Amino acid sequence: MNTALPEMLQCSDLTVLERQRARLKWQEEQFQQQQQQQSYFSELSCAAFSSQTNHVQGFQGGFMGGASGDSVLSDMVMARQVKPDPGLESPWPELGKVDMAAMGFGPCGYGNGPSFDMNHAISRTSSCPPAVAATKAVEVKANSEKMASAVGKESFKKRKVEKLQNSKVVAEDESKRIKACEDEGEESKITGPNTNKSSNNKKEASGDASKENSKVSEVQKPDFIHVRARRGQATDSHSLAERVRREKISERMKYLQDLVPGCNKITGKAGMLDEIINYVQSLQRQVEFLSMKLATVNPRLDFSIDNLYAKEVFSSCTTNFPTLEMAPEMANPPYLQFNPIQQVVPCCGVEMGINSPDMTLRRTISAPVSIPDASFLDSSCLTMHQWSAMQQIQHTAIWDVELQNLYNVAFDQGRSTPPFPSQPFAGSIEASDLKEI
Amino acid sequence: MKRWRTKREHQIYSSKLFQALCRSRRTSSSTSAKELHQTADRVLSITAKGTTRWSRAILAAPLTAGTNMKKHKKAKVTVHTRLRKPVVNREKKKLPVVERKLKALRRLVPGCRKLSCNNLLEETSDYIAALEMQVRAMTAITEFLARGEAQAPTDRLGSIGNM
């Protein structure tokens, strides 16, 4: 008879409620065997226990009350009563305090969501009976003073017992419980203590998890990752940690699979790594080849810049500029400013001197470029130093113009746009100037 | 890793590379491919803003390290190898396949010689994305300059006629 209930408890076929009921009945039998008083049953919820034995009876009475009355609430109260014991570990005279605390717990426990309480209560009650059974055995023989320590230890025992013996059962229970309350049984959460105590903390987290299922980011101790064991999987800390590590690696490999072209059919780490290595080598070779090419193509950058940018203006395949509105009037005064300056600058001046529609357009386009330049220098008194500085700035501005084209060559090949987008072009130049220099 | 795909990053890299090229062009007239390669890599690392290991390794490497050969330990061939009894090394198990490949990958990605598999894969993905961007930018620049070069002689003389 005494062993029937623990076996039943460990049987996973029972539902939680059935188990609870069975437990309660067992408690009742145990109680009756001890021939304790039964008057405390009804007074449980607001009980003031005067004797030590009554306290233990209170446990059982609580279970009894749970069976008869509102099971959840009474169990919750009982759970609360169990909970403060390890915390307080007070001598028996302070029993009243414990009960008050339990009373306090009761009302505040009502405030929580029902599922949370259910979980919590269940977690407590499921672990109580073995401990209570132990204390029962102790009680018969031991002194009343021993009870305090026993009760105090009972909660610890409960955890140890869970950890050592029933880890698998508990994991199954938990996963089942979680499934009953929620949908998912497998999540990896970042909440509390580390995976070494995971089986211990799973119990506490089972209540927390139901609340914080969506709040993955809620971190109490940010360095640790809390992992849940999946159903049917090993639950010791080593295999958990290994599983986390393996999952991380496979996640990274999947990402790499997207990155490296032509890896969709390849499965397995070795093949993937081969592909990755080949791809990295080919990219590096490409870069080397391009640098060689650049070295040969690159005789005189300063010289070719203006020509290049002029060409780029008219190339139709380049443009996808962000459009900023530029008033046409703005083009003219800088144009007027620009003209005398342009004559000083030799390389620009060669083009500027020539009268042609393209040149005009080029000038108007380059004019807005000089706006930031003009703001730097006073155009009325240009010294040689300032001229060279202007030149530099114009050069860089021009480079940016070219580079705008470059980018668009690279990105938007094949897009055809209107040939002379002067205003948006100018606007984008200015934007790039302000941004990048 | 996502950042290497954005246009903005491409622009930043291209402009910086261009400026660096001009600067190096002005300071030294030599245009060795190796130097260019190094410059390009350094600019790429700068664009990475120091968030990845490989970028920091590239920047930390000395500028003239190309000529220094690495200290590869050559196998010392002694005369008496044949006279010795053949050591039974053929049964020596090679490292697991995956490990060998990881080793090879570590050699390829700069600054990742002692990384764990996990971090190595992360660095590799970032490195691959950055390399792709580098290739795109450098092709664009070469194409650009080549086109400019080709058109330069005609432009100087007969721009009116062409346009």
For B95-118, write each residue's pLDDT tens digit: 788 889 999 999 999 888 888 999
Which band of pLDDT confidence, cut at 50, 70 and 90, is reported for residue B133?
Answer: very high
Q: What is the count of structural domains for chain A?
A: 1
Concatenated DSSP letters for A50-82?
A: -SHHHHHHHHHHHHHHHHHS-HHHHHHHHHHHH
Does residue A260 belong to any structural domain of this protein?
A: yes
Concatenated DSSP letters for A85-143?
A: HHHH---GGGHHHHHHHHHHHHHHHHHS-HHHHHHHHHHHHHHHHHHHHHHHHHHHHS-
In A83-112, the residues whose Cβ lies within 8 Å of chain B are none
Whole-structure pTM over 0.80, yes or no? no
The residue in chain A having the minimum alpha-carbon distance to the alpha carbon of residue B156 is A307
Q: Which two tokens stand for residue B14?
A: 């291209």
Distance from CA of A291 to the nearest CA of B (A): 5
Residue ranges of the domains in chain B? 3-63+99-148
The pLDDT of residue B67 is above 50: yes
Contacts of A284 in chain B (CB under 8 A): 108, 131
Q: Count the residues in chain B.
A: 163
Residue A206 CA to its chain's centroid (Å):
19
Nearest by CB to A290, from B26, B108, B142: name it.
B142
Nearest by CB to A259, from B19, B98, B129: name it.
B129
Give the ipTM.
Answer: 0.82
Does residue A392 belong to any structural domain of this protein?
A: no
Contacts of A287 in chain B (CB under 8 A): 37, 40-41, 131, 134-135, 138
What is the four-CA torsion angle of A405, A406, A411, A417, rounded to 10 degrees? 20
The residues near A128 (Cβ < 8 Å, ≥ 6 apart) are A59, A63, A78, A82, A158
Distance from CA of B85 to the nearest CA of A (A): 36
Q: How wide is the angle at C-alpha B80 spanned by C-alphas B79 and B82, nearest 5°? A: 105
CB proximity A283 to B under 8 Å = yes
The residue in chain B having the minimum alpha-carbon distance to the alpha carbon of residue A432 is B11
Which band of pLDDT confidence, cut at 50, 70 and 90, is reported for residue B130?
Answer: very high
Does residue A413 belong to any structural domain of this protein?
A: no
CATH code where residue A269 lies: 4.10.280
Specify the pLDDT at position A16: 64
Q: Which residue, among A378, A430, A421, has the nearest Cα to A401 in the 3D structure? A: A430
The residues near A210 (Cβ < 8 Å, ≥ 6 apart) are A113, A115, A116, A119, A178, A181, A182
Specify the pLDDT at position B98: 87
Distance CA B103, CA B113 (A): 8
Does residue A33 belong to any structural domain of this protein?
A: no
DSSP character at residue A188: E
Top-confidence range, A159-173, A374-388, B65-79, B130-144? B130-144
Specify the pLDDT at position B33: 80
Using a 10 angstrom Cβ sphere, with 0-12 exposed, 13-18 middle and 19 or more buried, the burial of residue A62 is buried
Distance from CA of A259 to the nearest CA of B (A): 7
Distance CA B107, CA A232 (A): 41
Between A155 and B45, whose confidence is greater? B45
Contacts of A300 in chain B (CB under 8 A): 25
Specify the pLDDT at position B19: 85
Q: Which residue, among A283, A261, A281, A250, has the nearest Cα to B117 in the 3D structure? A: A250
Which band of pLDDT confidence, cut at 50, 70 and 90, is reported for residue B129?
Answer: very high
Q: Which two tokens stand for residue A53?
A: 């034995």
CB proximity A420 to B under 8 Å = no
Distance CA A344, CA A338 (A): 10
Q: How wide is the angle at C-alpha A310 spanned by C-alphas B19 and A382, nearest 5°? A: 70
Q: Which residue, among A154, A148, A163, A126, has the nearest Cα to A8 in the 3D structure? A: A126
**Residues A295, B22: C-beta atoms closer than 8 Å:** no
Distance CA A105, CA A408 (A): 67
Q: Which residue, among A45, A350, A287, A125, has the nearest Cα to B42 in the 3D structure? A: A287
Could you tell me the residue range of the domain that residue A263 belongs to?
A: 238-296
DSSP character at residue A227: E
Does residue A242 belong to any structural domain of this protein?
A: yes
Sign of CA dihedral A102, A107, A111, A117: positive
CB proximity A358 to B under 8 Å = yes
Distance CA A81, CA A42 (A): 16
Q: What is the mean pLDDT of each run of 10 residues along chain A (437 residues)?
A: 52 61 73 59 46 45 43 44 46 46 45 46 46 47 47 45 45 45 44 42 42 44 70 85 92 90 86 92 93 78 50 42 44 46 43 45 45 44 50 50 56 47 46 48
DSSP character at residue A266: -
